[in-house]
Structure 1
């Protein structure tokens, strides 16, 4: 699981990063809103933890940007204790939860786990779907119009990543980091092999065109919804 943290209090940022890394999450962190916008726009995350008051773009601007682009990444806002109006506006803008400062790290970790479980629960209920293509996490397989694709492990992971990010260009680095991880002995060229296998299985239902090659960059899930 990969998490982005945007927090301008360096001491708090360090504490949050340490706690999440100790819980085995991969972390990207920054301290300005402009950096946060860049990270959120160019990488794939399972969760974003976002302070509202930031130098540069504020947290609410980042939330609106993420939702406007169609990303459904869970967002946890960090807010000042008396900023009720900001919390309301944040939730109305598309944030999923908020935590008021000061907070206990144990509560932060509990909120993180709850948001990730909620997202996983939505996916397992069959809500992760694009056009005729869907996945079911309970049986770890993909489907086209309810017909099973019989996916192998990484094929399933690849299709899940595409379905979580429809109409979004995913670079090969993003795909590799999300599925194989930084410490993998495999080379990024393995992505092309698995995309080929996945397309072959989708071709049985004339759906191979849903995975579009962005030459020199990566791939994108695109087609008629």
Structure 2
């Protein structure tokens, strides 16, 4: 399974990539620092290998909520987890209403995110 981490913070992207690439069944963790780069990587993913995206809400340019809707409109097969430090009820509701499969708080939900990725990576594609 391939994953993608989309966050404008290189520290967050690298930390998550290092954590998630050590999970059995995860072949690669792509990284994007913007919505544009994420969409470019998805366009290049002609085999549909990317199955899970960790997506930040607050990014310069196109925010994560806008990107969520664009990805879900063309790739309903991708599981998306919003991963944000702005984990208020309004962002949670907008994310889940917009098609997010999961919503995690960066400050307290890293273990939950890792558990979900382990479960997905263990499933046959």
Give the TM-score normalised by the residue count of structure 1: 0.48
State the distance in 2 between where 1:46 and 1:106 align. 19
Structure 1 residue 75: deviation in Å?
A: 0.5
The answer on whether the counterparts of 1:19 and 1:105 sit within 8 Å (CA) in structure 2 is no
The answer for the alignment partner of 1:13 in structure 2 is 13
Say which structure, 1 or 2, has more relative contact order (CA 8 Å, 6+ apart).
Answer: 2
What whole-Å deviation, never above 9, does each CA across 1:85-130 have from its counterpart, x for those lacking one? 122111111110010121354332112234x279x5xxxxxxxxxx
Superposed CA RMSD in Å reads: 2.2
Any unmatched runs of 5+ in structure 1?
121-136, 138-159, 161-225
Which protein is bigger by CA-based radius of gyration?
1
Q: SS at the partner of 1:15? A: helix
2:95 aligned with 1:90: yes
Distance of 2:105 and 2:89 partners within structure 1: 10
CA distance in 2, matches of 1:79, 1:99: 6
1:51 alignment partner, one of 47, 51, 56: 56
Q: Aligned pair 1:113/2:90, yes or no?
A: no
Deviation digits for residues 135-157 of structure 1 (CA, Å, limit 9, x no counterpart):
xx7xxxxxxxxxxxxxxxxxxxx
The number of residue pairs the alignment matches comes to 120
TM-score, normalization by structure 2: 0.82
